[in-house]
Amino acid sequence: MITIWVPKRLVEVDLYNVAARSPQALAQLSENSYARRVQYAAQKVRGSGAKIVMLTGPSASGKTTSAHCLAKALVQQGTPAQVVSLDNFFKGAAYYPKMPDGTLDYENLETLDLPLIKQCLHQLSETGKTELPIYDFATEQRAAAVEPIDLQGGVCIVEGIHALNPELTGLVPDDQIYRIYAGLREEYSIDGRRVINTQDIRLCRRTLRDAAARGRSPAKTLSMWDRVLDGETRYIKGFKTTADFLLDTSFTYELGLISRLLGEVRRQFTLEGHNAELWDETARRFEQVDPLPLELLPADSMLCEFYGSRQRQPRLRKHRTHEENLTSEKCVKFVSKPAPNCKNCGAFVAIAITLRYNGNTTPVWRTVRRSLQRMLPE
């Protein structure tokens, strides 16, 4: 199978600034470009005849949301598709390996139940059916319940940082697997000198998301960044060349959204020492980037994973058929009938298992939202 590879693009910041004079057009062009890439990826998956799509990418590459966008595109093209997160296969906090300094290594392959993953993927490739475990993030243990899955002749998209590791698919025939690597492919220069690379953008995505959606100080995110990059080197990038398709998750107009938000975060949080230097240096890279308003962000944009909580409250209010204010009674109805291919509704279902609605009329929205903030993808 020939790999569909995408070289990185180097765009002059001045060229971006010219395009940003028509912000609505630039945003629409960026969104349409991403949508076409996802549609093309769906065509390649359908053409491969594979039943199992393994999708990975580095932190803040948008792999989780892209997996759901891909599922939606496959359905639009006539192929049923479901998304499975490898997070469901966590063995539990008691089984996490430790780093040399004694801290837990959350990104280690051994955090996952490999035999169970192999079994489930084998069953899906053979019969199209299996039962998936459910991981309770609140207790950091596997729930007693399981989730039956039936591909109905379609495709299963498995997303997670270890998705391209061949250890997971050892029992699945290779012609039944299609591998996708999601990553940013656009960087920015001034007078031909690269000033903003994909790693800078991913750091901004992760830091801004954590600050807005989780109330987490950038200091914590920044202090973890070196460890995150180390984990990517150890567990993700080594398998990048095995991918059949590289899905570009860049959005040109995102540059202006980041430029708008960097200063806000700096004013909201106190940073000291190395963290302050790292954040201020990152902000300086965007000084010549014309900012853009968050109102440009469509409600269904992949970028809502990173910036949507700053634009709308509550963060998950738009689900087409679920726009009412969610009282506890409505929330139970909501989680029992999640919107198709919606990762956020899927998260509600996972949370509902542990909430155990008690029948009173007190809204559970805050409880659900706090739980979701802990569950948001890295």
**Structural domains in the chain, sorted by start:** 9-208+231-250 (3.40.50.300), 313-378 (no CATH)
Instruction: Answer yes or no: is pLDDT of 91 > 60.
Output: yes
Mark residue 324 as left, alpha or beta (left: phi above 0; alpha: psi -120 to 50; beta: remaining). Answer: beta
DSSP summary character for residue 301: -
Q: Which positions ≥6 away from 231 have C-beta within 8 Å? A: 105, 107, 161
Strand blocks (E) in 151-224: 155-159, 177-183, 186-190, 193-196
Instruction: Answer yes or no: is pLDDT of 353 > 50.
Output: no
Confidence at residue 371, expressed as pLDDT on a 0 to 100 scale: 43
Nearest to 188 by CA among 198, 178, 203, 174: 198
Instruction: Answer yes or no: is pLDDT of 310 > 50.
Output: yes
Confidence at residue 352, expressed as pLDDT on a 0 to 100 scale: 37
Confidence at residue 152, expressed as pLDDT on a 0 to 100 scale: 95
Q: Which of 54-68, 186-200, 248-262, 302-316 has the lowest mean pLDDT?
A: 302-316
DSSP summary character for residue 291: P
Is residue 60 within 8 A of residue 211, CB to CB? The reply is: no
Q: Give the Cα separation of 355 and 375 in Å (integer).
A: 14
Q: Above pLDDT 70, what percent of the chain?
A: 79
For the CA atoms of 257, 66, 91, 375, what is the dihedral angle to 10 degrees?
Answer: 40
Is residue 304 within 8 A of residue 344, CB to CB? The reply is: no
Confidence at residue 137, expressed as pLDDT on a 0 to 100 scale: 83
- Residue type present at position 121: L
Q: Give the Cα separation of 30 and 9 in Å (integer).
A: 14
* The overall pTM is greater than 0.75: yes
Confidence at residue 4, expressed as pLDDT on a 0 to 100 scale: 62
pLDDT tens-place string over residues 251-288? 999 999 999 998 787 777 778 888 888 888 989 999 99
Is residue 186 within 8 A of residue 8, CB to CB? The reply is: yes
Nearest to 207 by CA among 219, 221, 196, 193: 221
Confidence at residue 365, expressed as pLDDT on a 0 to 100 scale: 37
Confidence at residue 291, expressed as pLDDT on a 0 to 100 scale: 96
Classified as helix, coil or strand, 163 is coil
pLDDT tens-place string over residues 15-70? 999 999 999 999 999 999 999 999 999 999 999 999 999 999 999 999 999 999 99
Q: What is the mean pLDDT of the chain?
A: 83
Classified as helix, coil or strand, 60 is coil
Q: Which of 91-100, 172-181, 278-287, 308-317 has the lowest mean pLDDT?
A: 308-317
Confidence at residue 300, expressed as pLDDT on a 0 to 100 scale: 93
pLDDT tens-place string over residues 167-187? 999 999 999 999 999 999 999
Instruction: Answer yes or no: is pLDDT of 303 > 80.
Output: yes
Is residue 23 within 8 A of residue 292, CB to CB? The reply is: yes
For the chain, the first-to-last Cα distance in angstroms comes to 30
Locate tokens 């061949």: which residue?
166
> Which tokens in the block code for residue 18?
């010219």
Q: How confident is the model at residue 343 (pLDDT cuts 50, 70, 90)?
A: very low
Q: How confident is the model at residue 322 (pLDDT cuts 50, 70, 90)?
A: very low
> Which tokens in the block code for residue 331?
């929330």
Mean pLDDT, range 282-311, rounded to an integer: 91
DSSP summary character for residue 7: -
Classified as helix, coil or strand, 208 is helix
